[in-house]
């Protein structure tokens, strides 16, 4: 029974991470109708930010190192949020109302990000900075008649291509200087984040069952953050604006709500939540470039099951998914009930891998949607029927 | 056909549209529309369904962009300003579908009206009680969801919400459509009172004859162009027959 209970806690903590990530995804989808396939990679960025913060604080030792995780939480939120805002302003904004193109573009971004963390080195960063600066400067100092010419947009493309080629040359020349420039920072292998001591042990016990600090911490963190998001969306001025734009974009615009700022802020918050989820994941396992892909599918499942814009549904769905994965997927049922009949045993064994537990979840979702096509808690009332 | 009457010269106009051409994709909706709204007056735009009245309002608020022609508001040209900037400059819009934000409460919907004021909702937290005087029902329903109100109540909420932004020009798109007669009278009285007390200008798109007759000037639209205009007092039965679905 102890085993089941500890697996239950595992499931809840995985569910808590899913809840954070899925909430971010759902807020963005609800507001802008954008399905962000790069959401998982935002989680990965959050995880890598945590790794970097850890490495900065490690040499300091003592109390500074013990508290790094709190700083990493804040940093991972801020970095991914800024990243999300930049992405929204430069790319996603141009694709509004074109869901298929957005889907492809965000998928492309996720691939770029995965390769970026694999191969990022000092040389690469310098090259990208040169490209960005050169591209910007070429646009800026273009003579006015050329800027207004009918072929201006093609010219822009050519200029950016030139800047890109210069950037590539810069990368290859700086990389050839020495290993200091060409060594990848992270590389393709998995990295480990050491949780600080106060998270490692157990935090007391209930009825003889020990409470692992990391699991409890993640569950509490997720609960606090979700409460903060709910407060922000329901009570703050920007929250009312976000909800208004979500429900009626044109009218909100006509009332004087700056819809473009609302979009940026929402995308930033959604991305930031993914970053925090990524920071929490570092406590559960190692950090790798492919971290995002394994979570994004679960996030979508949570949203389908719980319904978009439905907090209670999202909470229940993410916890359910986490628990199914950890109790059935880990095969702990076999150990907890060693004397179950053979026929049942083979069925449980069949599903006792991570991928087979996904299959089980999918079967469940498909069956569930036959009976409740709009999710667990569909919205009711006059405005839905209209 | 009514002879085209020359429009009486007013000293100051809050809005002047001249030579407006608006397209939906490739279909030409508004053709060379000229329309002027004097300060502190109610101007009525009439015409049958589908002639382009709503398109005209959407162009003024900025949801649609004209292909040619100009809109001058308070002597400034509205070029490519997005709707929220036009709202902040004092154009209030009550749409035909009323467009209440359904899952926000009546109070939140009213607060959103003040987004058009400097500082927006963050600086303006107090709902002026004059909207409750105009529409007492709103005060009772402050904590209800906007989407749960009846059509007439939503219309009152939409007008109140627009007024809280203290507009200089109020665009009303068929405010009496599909609303029970007693509430139509309430709305008419409220609009009259607003014009008298605050001196704002109103552009009314309307089918309801009684309401039309309260405006000072009328413009009649047919197939996207203005075909007749003048003081409402000169509105003859022939014009009414032609442009209103009585």
For residue B87, give the nearest of A255, A382, A386 by CB distance. A255
Indicate the pLDDT class of residue A358, thresholds 50, 70 and 90. confident
Domains and CATH numbers, chain B: 13-243 (3.40.50.300)
- Mean pLDDT, chain A, integer: 87
Cα-Cα end-to-end distance for chain B: 18
* Residue A242 near chain B (CB below 8 Å): no
pLDDT-derived band at B57, boundaries 50, 70, 90: very high
Query: Which ipTM was obtained for this model?
Result: 0.89
Q: Is B34 on the interface with A (CB under 8 A)?
A: no
Is the CB of B63 less than 8 angstroms away from the CB of A250? yes
Which of A16-30, A56-70, A84-98, B81-95 bottoms out in mean pLDDT, i.e. has the lowest?
A56-70
Residue B42 clears pLDDT 80, i.e. is over it: yes
pLDDT tens digits, residue range A124-141? Answer: 889 999 999 998 888 888
pLDDT tens figures, B137-165: 999 999 999 999 988 999 999 999 999 99
Structure confidence at residue B3 as a pLDDT band (50, 70, 90): very low
pLDDT band at B4 (very low <50, low <70, confident <90, very high): very low
Q: Residue B83 and residue A254: Cβ atoms within 8 Å?
A: yes
pLDDT band at residue A197 under the 50/70/90 scheme:
confident
The pLDDT, as a whole number, for residue A383 is: 46
For B14-27, how does the pLDDT look when each residue is reduced to its tens digit (9 = 90+)? 999 999 999 998 89
Pairwise CA distance, residues A107 & A87, whole Å: 13
This prediction's pTM: 0.86
Query: Quick one: which H or E segment has residue A378?
Result: none
By Cβ distance, the residue of A244, A250, A256 closest to B104 is A244
Burial class (CB in 10 A: 0-12, 13-18, 19+), B99: buried
Identify which has the larger pLDDT, B207 or B44: B44
pLDDT exceeds 90 at position A380:
no
Kindly state the average pLDDT of the residues B227-233: 89
A96 in reach of chain B (CB within 8 A):
no
Q: If pLDDT is split at 50, 70 and 90, which confidence band does A294 have?
A: confident
The 3-state DSSP composition of chain B as helix, strand, coil percent (nearest 5) reads 35, 25, 35
Exposed, middle or buried, A371 (CB in 10 Å: 0-12/13-18/19+)?
A: exposed
Residue of A nearest to B150 (CA): A382
Structure tokens at B242: 């032609």
Question: Smallest CA–CA separation between A264 and chain B, in Å?
Answer: 16
Q: Which two tokens stand for residue A130?
A: 């040169």
Look at residue A353 and tell me whether its pLDDT is greater than 90. no
Q: What is the mean pLDDT of residues A101-110?
A: 93
* CA–CA gap between residue A138 and residue B183 (Å, rounded): 62
| Whether pLDDT at B1 is above 70 | no
State how far Cα A2 lies from the chain centre. 32
Determine the distance in angstroms separating the CA of A371 from the nearest CA of chain B, rounded to an integer.
26
**In this complex, do A254 and B121 lie within 8 Å of one another by their Cβ atoms?**
no
Q: Please report, rounded to a whole number, the percentage of residues in chain B having pLDDT higher than 70.
A: 95
pLDDT confidence of residue A131? 92
pLDDT at A110: 94
CB B217: neighbour CB atoms within 10 A?
Answer: 24
Q: Residues 119 to 138 of B: which have CB under 8 A from any A CB?
A: 120-122
Rounded-to-integer distance, Cα A225 and Cα A228, Å: 5
Say whether A241 and B121 touch across the interface (CB within 8 A).
yes
Average pLDDT of the residues in B83-101: 93
| Averaged pLDDT, B203-225 | 90
**Does residue A249 belong to the interface with chain B, where contact is any CB pair within 8 Å?**
no
Query: Distance between CA A156 and CA B67 in Å, rounded?
Result: 26
CA dihedral (A88, A89, A91, A93) in degrees, to 10, reads 80
The region of weakest confidence among A130-139, A197-206, A226-235, B185-194 is A197-206
> What pLDDT, on a 0 to 100 scale, did the predictor assign at position A80?
96
């Amino acid at each position: 029974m102890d085993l089941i209970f500890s697996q239950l806690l595992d499931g809840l903590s995985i569910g808590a991470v899913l809840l954070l990530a899925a909430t971010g995804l759902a807020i963005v989808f609800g507001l802008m109708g954008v399905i962000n396939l790069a959401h998982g990679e935002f989680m990965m960025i959050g995880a890598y930010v945590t790794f970097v913060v850890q490495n900065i604080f490690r040499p300091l030792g003592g109390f500074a190192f013990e508290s790094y995780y709190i700083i990493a939480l804040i940093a991972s939120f801020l970095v991914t949020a800024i990243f999300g805002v930049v992405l929204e302003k430069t790319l996603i904004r141009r694709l509004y109302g074109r869901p298929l193109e957005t889907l492809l573009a965000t998928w492309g971004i996720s691939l770029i990000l995965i390769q970026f963390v694999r191969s990022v080195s000092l040389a690469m960063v310098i090259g990208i900075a040169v490209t960005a600066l050169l591209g910007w400067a070429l646009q800026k100092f273009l003579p006015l008649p050329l800027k207004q010419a009918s072929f201006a947009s093609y010219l822009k493309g050519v200029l950016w291509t030139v800047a890109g080629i210069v950037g590539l040359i810069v990368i290859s020349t700086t990389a050839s200087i020495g290993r200091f420039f060409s060594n990848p920072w992270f590389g393709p292998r998995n990295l480990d984040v050491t949780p600080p001591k106060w998270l490692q042990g157990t935090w007391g016990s209930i009825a003889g069952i020990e409470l692992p600090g990391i699991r409890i911490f993640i569950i509490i963190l997720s609960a606090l953050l979700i409460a903060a998001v709910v407060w922000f969306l329901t009570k703050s001025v920007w929250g009312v604006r976000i909800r208004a734009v979500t429900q009626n974009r044109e009218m909100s615009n006509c009332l004087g709500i700056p819809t473009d700022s609302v979009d940026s802020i929402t995308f930033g918050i959604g991305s930031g939540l993914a970053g925090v989820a990524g920071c929490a994941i570092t406590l559960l396992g190692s950090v790798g470039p492919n971290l995002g892909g394994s979570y994004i599918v679960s996030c979508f499942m949570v949203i389908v099951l719980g319904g978009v814009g439905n907090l209670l549904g999202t909470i229940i769905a993410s916890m359910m998914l986490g628990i199914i994965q950890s109790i059935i997927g880990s095969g702990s049922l076999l150990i907890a009930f060693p004397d179950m009949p053979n026929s049942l045993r083979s069925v449980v064994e069949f599903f006792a891998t991570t991928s087979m537990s996904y299959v089980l979840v999918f079967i469940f979702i498909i069956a569930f949607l036959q009976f409740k096509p709009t999710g667990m808690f569909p919205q009711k009332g006059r405005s839905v029927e209209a | 056909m009514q002879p085209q009457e020359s429009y009486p010269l007013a000293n100051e106009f809050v809005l002047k549209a001249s030579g407006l051409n608006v397209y939906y994709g490739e279909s030409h909706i508004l053709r060379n529309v000229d329309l002027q709204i004097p300060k502190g007056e109610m101007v009525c735009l009439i015409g049958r369904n589908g002639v382009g009245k709503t398109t005209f309002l959407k162009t003024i608020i900025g949801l649609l962009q004209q292909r040619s022609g100009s809109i001058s508001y308070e002597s400034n040209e509205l070029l490519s300003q997005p709707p929220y900037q036009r709202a902040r400059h004092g154009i209030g819009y009550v749409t035909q579908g009323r467009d209440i934000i359904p899952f926000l409460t009546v109070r939140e919907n009213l607060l959103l009206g003040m987004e058009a004021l400097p500082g927006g909702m963050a600086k303006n937290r107090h709902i002026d009680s004059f909207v409750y005087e105009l529409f007492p029902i709103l005060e009772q329903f402050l904590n209800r969801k906007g989407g749960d109100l009846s059509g007439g109540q939503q219309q009152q909420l939409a007008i109140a919400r627009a007024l809280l932004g203290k507009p200089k020009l109020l665009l009303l798109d068929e405010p009496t459509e599909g609303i029970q007669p007693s509430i139509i009278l309430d709305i008419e009285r409220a609009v009259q009172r607003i014009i008298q007390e605050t001196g704002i200008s109103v552009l009314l798109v309307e089918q309801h004859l009684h309401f039309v007759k309260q405006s000072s000037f009328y413009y009649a639209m047919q197939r996207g162009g203005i075909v007749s205009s003048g003081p409402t007092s000169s509105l003859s039965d022939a014009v009414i027959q032609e442009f209103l679905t009585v």
